[in-house]
Amino acid sequence: MATDIRFKRVLLKVSGEALMGRQGFGIDVAVADRIAGDIAEARELGVDVSVVIGGGNIFRGVAVASKGGDRVTGDHMGMLATVINALALRTSLAKLGIDAIVLSAISMPEICQSFSQRVAQEHADAGRVVIFAGGTGNPFFTTDSAAALRAAEMGAEALMKGTQVDGIYSEDPKKNPNAERFDRLSHDEVLQRGLAVMDVAAVALARENRIPIVVFSIHEPGGFAQILRGEGRATIVSD
Ligand SMILES: Nc1ncnc2c1ncn2[C@@H]1O[C@H](COP(=O)(O)OP(=O)(O)O)[C@@H](O)[C@H]1O
Ligand SMILES: O=c1ccn([C@@H]2O[C@H](COP(=O)(O)OP(=O)(O)O)[C@@H](O)[C@H]2O)c(=O)[nH]1
């Protein structure tokens, strides 16, 4: 079955906002459970999945900065939010009998192990789903950049960005419903056209390391496995 699969080892970026479902804030456990189910489905296809999780459902650093507060402190709060989400996803995976481990870029040994590439690789080799928390561990970055970084470190064949939209458009489709949707783009095209589905640092890092980016809707149940089988709607960014 796995012979039809396009990628055997992927890094899945799960948007923090995806976890809040219709609530408008925080974590909807039913949504976390459903995303865990999608990861389980991908593993059944024989795909190694590791995950970078965002924190936008709880906190974004710019929210502090925009109200005159300190950006660095705001970003620290945002990175902590990603740890909360990572623990929720690990809990949902455990309910399905999937062994997952949270590795944080910010040390908090009472709660989870600290990230190092070597430790991450060992857990992945042991068949665990590695959930990377704490973003890059640095302010002024995003979890998209963390996803590109961890994808490179883990030797992932693709960075799969599960987000609110079903691909990359000529403009933000939430602002312009008539925007044109692309099936394929190069990293250079994404950067040159200023397509803001991911930040520039993340796309540039993926380009440097020749890692394809696949943008798809995380809200479509079973969508992740579909994309891995080469079906469903997504935009593929590759050279
Ligand atoms: N050209 C574009 N194509 C697709 N989405 C875009 C584009 N420009 C902006 N976006 C917006 O980017 C969002 C995804 O980026 P982001 O907010 O960082 O998501 P995430 O929460 O998944 O990290 C989409 O929900 C979409 O509204
Ligand atoms: O390497 C990182 C990753 C994240 N963040 C902070 O954590 C917040 C949540 O991450 P992000 O906005 O990327 O989450 P998502 O959009 O995926 O929900 C960001 O707004 C930043 O404040 C950070 O400072 N450095």
Ligand nearest to the CA of 83: 2
| pLDDT tens for each residue of 123-174 | 999 999 999 999 999 999 999 999 999 999 999 999 999 999 999 999 999 9
Stretch 33-38: mean pLDDT: 98
**For residue 65, what pLDDT is reported?**
85
Burial class (CB in 10 A: 0-12, 13-18, 19+), 233: middle
Q: How far apart are CA 22 and CA 28, in angstroms?
A: 8
CA of 123 to the centre of ligand 1 (A): 31
Q: Is 180 in the pocket of ligand 1 (CB under 6 A)?
A: no
Answer yes or no: is the C-beta of 133 below 6 A from any ligand 2 atom. Answer: no
Is the confidence at residue 1, as pLDDT, over 60? no
- Protein residue with its CA nearest to atom 4 in ligand 2: 142
Residue 2 pLDDT more than 50?
no
CB burial of 61-78 (b: ≥16 within 10 Å; e: otherwise) equals beebeeeeeeeeebbbbb
- pLDDT at 5 exceeding the cut of 80: no
Domains of the chain plus CATH, in order, are: 2-237 (3.40.1160.10)
What is the pTM (predicted TM-score) of this model? 0.96
* Alpha carbon distance 210, 185 (integer Å): 13
Ligand 1 test: best mutation among 136, 159, 161, 172, most atoms within 8 Å of CB?
A: 172
Write out pLDDT tens, residues 91-107.
999 999 999 999 999 99
Tokens linked to 209: 């390391």
Average pLDDT score over the chain: 95
Q: Is the CB of 55 within 6 Å of ligand 1?
A: no
Q: Contact 228/5 with Cβ under 8 angstroms?
A: yes
- Ligand 1 pocket test target in 13, 159, 165, 199 with most atoms within 8 Å of CB: 165
Q: How many CA atoms are closer than 13 Å to the CA of 223, on its beta-carbon side?
A: 22
* pLDDT value of position 4: 63
Give residue 24's pLDDT.
87
